[in-house]
Amino acid sequence: MKHRAKPRPSQLPQYVFKVERLSHEGRGIAHYDGAEFSHPTEKQGKKVFIRYALPGETVKAQITRQVSKLEEADSIELLSEPNPYRIEPICPHFGSCGGCNMQHIHPDEQIRLKQDVLKSHLSHFAGLEPAQWLSPLRSTRVDYRHKARIGVRFLPKSNKLLMGFREAQSNHLTEIQTCKILDIQLDQALPEIKALLESLKGKSSIGHIELAKGDGEISLLVRHTEKLKQHDVNLLQQYALQKQWQLYLQPAGVESVHRVDDADAEMYLHYRLNEFDVDFAFNPTDFTQVNPTVNPQMVKLACDLLELKQGEKVLDLFCGLGNFSLPLAKCVGDTGKVVAVEGSEAWYRKRTEQSYQQC
């Protein structure tokens, strides 16, 4: 059973390993073992982190990085029975695209692994042992991501435009035709967007695009390093009008982002937490919770566990847009108080505006 991993041009060797366990980030951990395999004597006992390999499996792996205390590798062939939790990745680009690294692991096992990581961190850094583990919050949707930054690169020698995500541990782009974890509306638009970018005269100046989806809006942001010709701006505007999307250009840093489909319109998308009757406005570049299906469950669970009463006080650190602090304010009522702390001045201004809008 071969893996889809993209071959790496390298003079580093290939070896057979027996995988013992998983690392915190989901890589298989093995050791050089000269007694069982034909491993160099000088490497005896050295730890190897192997992408795409699971516990109990024997794999052929291509070494990709060597340092004094450990090595890294990619599994390129499974030589034994697969781990019971191994599944077929849903994405045809898995193994070359660096966007996902656990699609070969059953979701139940992914959750168990992440719980083990949290347990280890609580024990190691805080000396805490949870008395009870709550059932995980889950979503049945695979296409859960409502935001994505997608790299763009024009190759003048081949007159080809690449659009995709970066390869793992590399600055190279993996060209993608689809992203199965991206919201279906955004995913289905990827071929159209690539064709649009290919038609631009200034396509060599496009560095990346960003897609974002709110409850009722979608935005397309184009990052460019040189001023776009009006011809190109017109094409982008026509596409946004056809799709009824918001269109943003970013010629420099994040402060340069501006809306061009309707210069007089607000620069916001929106989402709502119905349980608490609160609405949020966010910019295309703002951080929001990655999974809009799980987010309401997460906020409700936090509020339920706190068992807040009218008049109580709550501290919300790194509050961002107020995803937690505004629902918490609803729980403590007019006589209560939520102190929402945010280190970013820009986020603070947005958070203050959100608070006044909800009053």
Mark the binding-site residues for S-adenosyl-L-methionine, compressed into ranges.
289, 318, 342
CA distance 202 to 233: 10
- Stated as kind and residue range, the H or E segment containing 49 is strand 47-51
Rounded Cα–Cα distance for residues 250 and 298 (Å)? 33
Cα–Cα dist 228/238, whole Å: 15
- The rounded distance, in Å, linking the Cα atoms of 145 and 130 is 30
Cα 15 to chain centroid distance, Å, stands at 32
Beta strand 246-250 pairing with 218-224: parallel
The closest of 262, 224, 219 to 243, measured between CA atoms, is: 219
Rounded CA-CA distance 119/47 in Å is 23
- Binding positions: 289, 318, 342
Q: How many angstroms separate the CA atoms of 64 and 74, rounded?
A: 7
* Whether 45 contacts 91, CB under 8 Å: no
